[in-house]
Amino acid sequence: MRDVGALIDFAGSDNAARAALASEASGQRGHSKSVRAGHSPEPGSSARTGAMGSIGYCMGGRHVLCAAGHFPQHFVASASLHGTAMISERADSPHRLADRFRGELYCGYGERDRHTPPELVVELARVLQGSAVEFSYLVHRGGEHGYALPDRDVFDKQAANRDWERIFAMFRRRLQA
């Protein structure tokens, strides 16, 4: 797995935020092989600094929200497609970071996604209402969990294309220099 720390300048972030993101990225508390905080882009790399975007599928949607909350100065264009566990009773639930989100957040959901029931979709919209992030979402009629992944039997090309149109438009608005 590529070291995310090589892509993000974490110098302005506090240690607690770095540890939290490392924990989220690795799925473990206090240990990560995938995020090494405190490193700037390597000399000569094509990695840029400043505003960044992120996209997460399934549990990656949760990670996208956590990154946006822990590093709002970097992640200003975030997308979650059929994201899971974005609201829970856990202390590390991403929705608890809503007041830190900046920029823009888009979520795509499947109407029949058993992992993200309609009441969760409505609750996330309610939590983000009035926050500093511009939030939008689509619920794709008939969509199942995994609808946006082309190699899945539940792939819905029309729904995935609608998501990509929204994501690319968001990236153009928020990330183009």
Q: What's the pLDDT tens digit per position in 106-148?
A: 999 999 999 999 999 999 999 999 999 999 999 999 999 999 9
The confidence band for 176, taking pLDDT boundaries of 50, 70 and 90, is confident
β-strand partners of 104: 77, 134
Domain that holds residue 32: 1-49
**Do 40 and 99 belong to one domain?**
no
CATH, residue 108: 3.40.50.1820
**Do 2 and 56 belong to one domain?**
no
**Do 62 and 91 belong to one domain?**
yes
**Could you tell me the two tokens for 82?**
């059929």
**Do 21 and 86 belong to one domain?**
no
**Do 3 and 54 belong to one domain?**
no
**Do 169 and 122 belong to one domain?**
yes
Structural domain count of the chain: 2
Q: Widest CA span of the chain, in angstroms?
A: 47
**Do 54 and 44 belong to one domain?**
no
**Do 24 and 111 belong to one domain?**
no
Q: Which of 165, 153, 105, 155 is nearest to 129 (CA)?
A: 105
| pLDDT at 28 exceeding the cut of 70 | no
Bridge-based pairing state of the strands 52-57 and 75-81: parallel
CA distance 32 to 147: 30
**Do 22 and 78 belong to one domain?**
no
The confidence band for 50, taking pLDDT boundaries of 50, 70 and 90, is confident
Handedness of CA 26, 4, 21, 85 (dihedral sign): negative
Q: Which of 99, 80, 82, 98 is nearest to 166 (CA)?
A: 80
